Amino acid sequence: MKAFVIERYSKQEPVRLVDVPEPTLGEQDVLVQIHAASINPLDLKIRSGALKRILPLRLPLVLGNDLAGVVTQVGAKVQGFKPGDEVYARTDTRRIGTFAEFIAVAESNLALKPASLSMEEAASIPLVGLTAWQALVEKGQLRKGQKVFIHAGSGGVGTLAIQLAKHLGAYVAATTSSANVALVKSLGADLVIDYKKDDFAKTLRDYDLVLHSLGDEELAQSVSVLRPGGQLITLSGPPDPAFARSAGMPKLLQLIVGLLSRKIRKRAAQRRVSYAFLFMRGSGEQLARLAELIDSGVIRPVVDKVFPFEATDEALAYVDSGRAKGKVVVRVR
């Protein structure tokens, strides 16, 4: 089958389209013919080697973390899916590879595709949808009447997180650039801050939760907008010791991770707020719940561009440019 691979870690080296063996199927795996896959900043981090210490993967490596497609074969112990089912998924962290024609996915990570979406739209959802769900519902336990601040409201995670937070009954503030203010408002944000004109740290006060996905400066400033007892959940800041333990890292690496996040954790503690790093995981159960919200009209995907499979490297470059609104998708079939 055809797939896009990297043979060494590099920020600039293009992915190459090559022939690779079709996946082997385990007893609890589902073989999916991929119709579409989306591009995520995570793909860029993996390609560059930025995550190789906390996410060791064997090279050469097929990139890609989420997909939509059709089931072609199921393992002997699979009960919930059958050939012909239209599905979507975020793969296991150590079994990525959706920039390809086929992939074997654990049944537990798979869900039926939202019936109201095209394959391209469905492929845009899994990673960012699960990230938003696990940040706001699972970890943040966001409740009606609370206030949440979402960085990068026009990004992949931001566009989904705004809609989910509004569904949960929260008051939502978000940042974006001037060009995307109307988009972010249309998703339901109550307060939109143009980061090119205004400083969120001078505007916001007493928020219950901040979902951070930008750089160190925004991370440090985010602490000041939270009320005592509030939560700072980061997708891009330094990992915390709790994450290191849950990931099963060696003791020495756990110590190093703790040192990396010590400064921001100390700053958070001084303000009496909690700090947590989130590295989302695949979950078919949560994708099924997101599908219900999508098919009922609560959440809609935001897709910026769809690239043909042969232009996967161009799609990666477009996401790397930082200009994308919502998600960028590759049409595989």
- Clarify whether residues 110 and 136 are in a common domain: no
- Clarify whether residues 216 and 315 are in a common domain: no
Question: Could you give the angle at the alpha carbon of 102 between the alpha carbons of 100 and 104, nearest 5°?
Answer: 120
Q: Which contacts qualify for 242-251: CB closer than 8 Å, 24 or more apart?
A: 242/276, 242/277, 243/276, 243/277, 243/278, 243/279, 247/54, 247/279, 249/54
Which pLDDT score is estimated for 171?
98
- Clarify whether residues 103 and 137 are in a common domain: no
Which pLDDT score is estimated for 52?
87
Instruction: Please tell me what DSSP assigns to residue 153.
Output: T
CA distances from residue 56 to 39, 193, 247, 313 in whole angstroms, order as listed: 20, 38, 12, 22
How many Cα atoms are found within 13 Å in the side-chain-facing hemisphere of 27? 1
Which pLDDT score is estimated for 56?
81
The amino acid that residue 59 corresponds to is L
Range of the domain at 31: 2-124+301-331
Instruction: Please tell me what DSSP assigns to residue 216.
Output: H
Q: What is the pTM of this model?
A: 0.96
- Region class of 248: left (phi > 0), else alpha (psi between -120 and 50), else beta: left
Is residue 285 domain-resident? Answer: no
- Clarify whether residues 81 and 160 are in a common domain: no
Is residue 287 domain-resident? Answer: no
Q: Does residue 303 contact residue 324 with C-beta atoms inside 8 Å?
A: no
- Clarify whether residues 137 and 253 are in a common domain: yes
* Burial (CB count within 10 angstroms: exposed 0-12, middle 13-18, buried 19+), residue 236: middle
Stretches where the chain sits below pLDDT 50 are none
Q: Looking at the chain, list the stretches that DSSP marks H as alpha helix, in order from N- to C-terminal side.
A: 41-48, 119-123, 126-133, 156-167, 181-186, 200-203, 216-222, 241-246, 251-260, 262-270, 284-295, 312-320
CA distances from residue 281 to 69, 199, 219, 311, 320 in whole angstroms, order as listed: 20, 32, 22, 27, 23
- Clarify whether residues 313 and 327 are in a common domain: yes
Is residue 321 domain-resident? Answer: yes
Which pLDDT score is estimated for 164?
98
Is residue 283 domain-resident? Answer: no
- Clarify whether residues 322 and 239 are in a common domain: no
- Clarify whether residues 137 and 182 are in a common domain: yes
Of 277, 292, 317, the residue at which a domain comes to its end is 277
Which pLDDT score is estimated for 54?
76
- Clarify whether residues 227 and 86 are in a common domain: no
SS3 241: helix
Is residue 288 domain-resident? Answer: no
Which pLDDT score is estimated for 136?
98
- Clarify whether residues 60 and 85 are in a common domain: yes
Query: Packing angle between helix 312-320 and helix 41-48, nearest 10 degrees?
Result: 100
Query: Packing angle between helix 126-133 and helix 284-295, nearest 10 degrees?
Result: 100
Of 262, 277, 292, the residue at which a domain comes to its end is 277
Is residue 289 domain-resident? Answer: no
Residue 10's domain is classified under what CATH number? 3.90.180.10
- Clarify whether residues 150 and 29 are in a common domain: no
Is residue 228 domain-resident? Answer: yes
Q: How many domains does the chain have?
A: 2
What sign does the CA torsion over 290, 206, 149, 135 have?
negative
Cβ neighbours of 266 (radius 10 Å): 10
SS3 169: coil
- Reported as a single tens digit per residue, the pLDDT across 240-293 is 999 889 888 889 888 988 899 999 999 999 999 999 999 999 999 999 999 999
Would strands 16-19 and 2-6 be described as parallel, antiparallel, or unpaired?
A: antiparallel
- Clarify whether residues 100 and 141 are in a common domain: no
Q: What is the CA radius of gyration of the chain?
A: 19
CA pair distance 73, 62, nearest whole angstrom: 21
